Structure 1
């Protein structure tokens, strides 16, 4: 409701020509933003709107004022107020906005296009680390019956938690899961593995319109499932069956890591995760243990070193 109210403010107030506010208003009214097929998903629109709200104080600023140096200052100021991730997202949204405006003649170039992101501190632990094999097994055994299916959808498909709990009841049919990634809109069409079929058949029966339902037989909300998981996670930590740093989104990293260990390329991993590009796939799988892939390389290297050593010995004689 608050986002809707702020959206109305942007719609009702007349933006000054040639300003950032004008560009935001025109972009927000364009099919590239609101169209259900080619535009942004509802979640992404809400994320963008938070950035537009943050930039509201400088909406009257002429577009010609924006330069790379000034965008960097905006980024750095946002870093102080909003922290690193949000500051980088401000630059991302500005880059999308200016690119859209440049293609339509509202601005000559995109001053946010090549602004580097504020780097992640080296001392900061990785967010959403992959789950260990033992953790996945222990959690699936310990979980209440009504939480097993949504967790399994995240575990076997790498579905985002929000997508998993909102999956329509008819999404699983003919031995497949047919859905779309909520944030990107990218289709996800994957065969049902036998363990997931067994979990689905054992799940408590319900009449909800979603595939998964809570203990009352009603559709899960992300906040509801997340809240239940957080309570159980604390309990599992005390019992020692999981280690610190476990998150629901970490299961996406787990799926990507396992696929990378098996030798699948970034494009395949991106398809599995419903990503538009391979960038996030590489990020999700960066911690993958590529030992299997490297065994052959190490063996070949060792053989080549031995061969060269033999040649040296022969030449010495």
Structure 2
């Protein structure tokens, strides 16, 4: 929903205009053509409060209200885009439905209907929880109704999530990747960060052998020394703009462009499974290398920025368990050797 030069309280939404003034409980569709005398007559009546049309309690009006809320406006642009996409799906499904009549079995059925794409199905439920929390804030749901989206069992991820890149895939990628794709690869592997953060790295973030930045997803300040490999690679990388990874004319590179470029390299590779390894898997490679180097959970989190051990279990997988078990048994051996009489 956008303004695009429209008068106060008027928004364009999916091809029509709507007058929204939450302080007075107004949400009115304006069918008149913008700029016509009929439009301005209707608009002036709404401004003066002469058309006390109450907000109809529907998923449609709930979504419009949420898009205007401070909570939505504070989200990161990419998160806003994701929320809009999933809320549009909810609007198409239940646009005219009263939120108070929405029950857990409705949400469960919606979730199961999208089971073919389990990540999207889970995210749909998670966004619906947020939307219905907003419904309670604006009086569309009463306390006794609770939040019908909460408690819906989500699909479990098979395996340990994103696959780390095997050594043979990494070797072939390094051999054929063009400079920009290789630069992204080295940054993801060397820093252990998400590609969204990697694309925002500026040369000014790299000082005294370390990089100093704030993670986009978590807003967590990070200061991380560079590995020798990454330092040496960046020493020969061209500086064509403010960001390390550049697009056209030295401007910051767009996520979709880089994702397509990385995918294109893997499609050219001879390895039969190359295309199944995504760029985010390099974050898992970095996590595993940290564990294999003898780092404990806190040390790994200090580099990758993971917020909790549960995520480390997901990314570190069996390597984490193996390393920790080895250190634990070595500690037992030392204790046994130090016992009197042994």
TM tier relative to shorter chain: 0.7 to 0.9
| Residues 3 and 49, structure 1, Cα contact 8 Å, conserved in 2 | no
- The CA deviation at 1:168 is 2.8
Instruction: Provide the C-alpha distance between the structure 2 equivalents of 1:221 and 1:164, rounded to a whole number of angstroms.
Output: 11
Q: Classify 1:187/1:300 alpha carbon distance in 2 versus 1 (closer, same or farther; 3 Å).
A: closer
| Residues 87 and 128, structure 2, Cα contact 8 Å, conserved in 1 | no
Match of 1:118 among 142, 155, 158: 155
Match of 1:187 among 203, 221, 230: 221
**Cα-Cα RMSD:** 3.6
Which residue matches 2:24? none
- The CA deviation at 1:54 is 0.6
Structure that is richer in helix per residue: 1
Match of 1:292 among 323, 328, 336: 323
Which residue matches 1:90? 124
- The CA deviation at 1:302 is 9.3
Which residue matches 1:43? 78
Structure that is richer in strand per residue: 2
Which residue matches 2:101? 65
| Residues 129 and 250, structure 1, Cα contact 8 Å, conserved in 2 | yes
Which residue matches 1:236? 269
Instruction: Provide the C-alpha distance between the structure 2 equivalents of 1:270 and 1:296, rounded to a whole number of angstroms.
Output: 18
Match of 2:91 among 47, 52, 56: 56
Instruction: Provide the C-alpha distance between the structure 2 equivalents of 1:218 and 1:168, rounded to a whole number of angstroms.
Output: 11
- The CA deviation at 1:69 is 1.5
Which residue matches 1:311? none
Q: Classify 1:86/1:292 alpha carbon distance in 2 versus 1 (closer, same or farther; 3 Å).
A: closer
Instruction: Provide the C-alpha distance between the structure 2 equivalents of 1:287 and 1:218, rounded to a whole number of angstroms.
Output: 40
- Structure 2: unaligned runs, 5 residues or longer: 5-10, 19-26, 29-54, 336-342
Larger Rg: 2
Which residue matches 1:209? 242
Instruction: Provide the C-alpha distance between the structure 2 equivalents of 1:155 and 1:48, rounded to a whole number of angstroms.
Output: 29
- The CA deviation at 1:100 is 3.8
Q: Which moved more, 1:63-72 or 1:162-171?
A: 162-171
Which residue matches 1:315? none
- The CA deviation at 1:195 is 2.0
- The CA deviation at 1:212 is 1.9
Instruction: Provide the C-alpha distance between the structure 1 equivalents of 2:134 and 2:307, rounded to a whole number of angstroms.
Output: 19
**Residues 1-317 of structure 1: matches in 2 within 5 Å?**
8-9=12-13, 12-13=17-18, 14=27, 16-35=55-74, 40-57=75-92, 58-79=94-115, 83-102=117-136, 105-107=139-141, 108=143, 109-120=146-157, 128-133=162-167, 135-136=169-170, 139-140=173-174, 142-206=176-240, 208-213=241-246, 219-238=252-271, 245-261=276-292, 262-265=294-297, 269-270=300-301, 272-275=303-306, 279-288=310-319, 290-297=321-328
Q: Classify 1:99/1:17 alpha carbon distance in 2 versus 1 (closer, same or farther; 3 Å).
A: same
Instruction: Provide the C-alpha distance between the structure 2 equivalents of 1:215 and 1:56, rounded to a whole number of angstroms.
Output: 37
Which residue matches 1:309? none
| Residues 51 and 90, structure 1, Cα contact 8 Å, conserved in 2 | yes
Which residue matches 1:310? none
| Residues 168 and 211, structure 1, Cα contact 8 Å, conserved in 2 | yes
Instruction: Provide the C-alpha distance between the structure 1 equivalents of 2:291 and 2:56, rounded to a whole number of angstroms.
Output: 50
Instruction: Provide the C-alpha distance between the structure 2 equivalents of 1:104 and 1:271, rounded to a whole number of angstroms.
Output: 40
Instruction: Provide the C-alpha distance between the structure 2 equivalents of 1:196 and 1:301, rounded to a whole number of angstroms.
Output: 37
- The CA deviation at 1:201 is 1.1
- The CA deviation at 1:157 is 1.4
- The CA deviation at 1:281 is 3.7
- The CA deviation at 1:199 is 1.0
TM-score, reference length from structure 2: 0.70
